[in-house]
Amino acid sequence: MIKNYPQVFVLFFFLLSGTVHAALLDVDWQTSGDNLLLHDTSTNLQWLDLSVTLNQSYNEVTAQLGTGGAYDGFRFATRDEVLHLWSEANITDTNFTWVENGEWSIVKDLADRLGTSVLFDPAGIGTHALGMVEGGAPLASNERWVMELSYHYDGVRVRTSSDYYILGTDFASEHYSSFLVRPVPLPAALWLFISGLIGLYSVKKVGK
């Protein structure tokens, strides 16, 4: 039985190879082709498109997170989880400053895939993805951060911020959404593999 272990671990490596190399994948949520989920393979989290929660307050969204709610299975993302998502796309925090840092294309790509609204500016200078995240110190219990990805229509400048916007949990606007995530279950094949390992281990113990 021991001589078969190398093949077992080769299979283990093969099954995990899809998650070792991080990628961001567009997948469907409720209907075929809706592309309302962004799957981060490095964290195994799926991000709900911001267009779904547009113009809904934190409290309104929270009321729909439970069993049977519109967002059953989701939760609010943390600030660190959003920053990690940005890092997966090689996006930096510009601290709410318009900069020319060579990231315009990747900011536009991630913002568009997460869901955008027109930047609130009389001149209509750009487009952004604004999402509320879970709170924590030093915020008050009724305050939450809103994290921003913005790209300018000049095709060069971007603006990102992780802690500039702080809004109340009852605030709603057509420019603000919520970053909701849900974990993706391990593939059935991997569960079968784990079960097989347990079986091999049990056989080995019996044989001793």
- Determine the pLDDT at residue 144: 96
pLDDT in tens, 149-175: 999 999 999 999 999 999 999 999 988
Mean pLDDT calculated for residue range 37-57: 96
- Determine the pLDDT at residue 58: 97
pLDDT band at 18 (very low <50, low <70, confident <90, very high): very low
Amino acid 148 reads E
pLDDT band at 205 (very low <50, low <70, confident <90, very high): low
pLDDT band at 4 (very low <50, low <70, confident <90, very high): very low
- Determine the pLDDT at residue 118: 78
Tell me the pLDDT of the chain averaged across its residues.
Answer: 84
Rounded CA-CA distance 150/157 in Å is 9
Secondary structure class of 127 (helix, strand, coil): strand
Alpha helices in the chain (DSSP H): 5-20, 58-62, 79-88, 104-114, 188-207
Q: pTM to 2 decimals?
A: 0.79
| Range ranked top by mean pLDDT from 4-8, 66-70, 197-201 | 66-70
When mean pLDDT is compared across 44-48, 100-104, 124-128, the lowest value belongs to 124-128
Helix axes 188-207, 5-20, angle to 10 degrees: 150
When mean pLDDT is compared across 2-11, 82-91, 140-149, the lowest value belongs to 2-11
Closest among 101, 48, 168 to 93, alpha carbons compared: 101
Closest among 99, 83, 100, 81 to 91, alpha carbons compared: 83
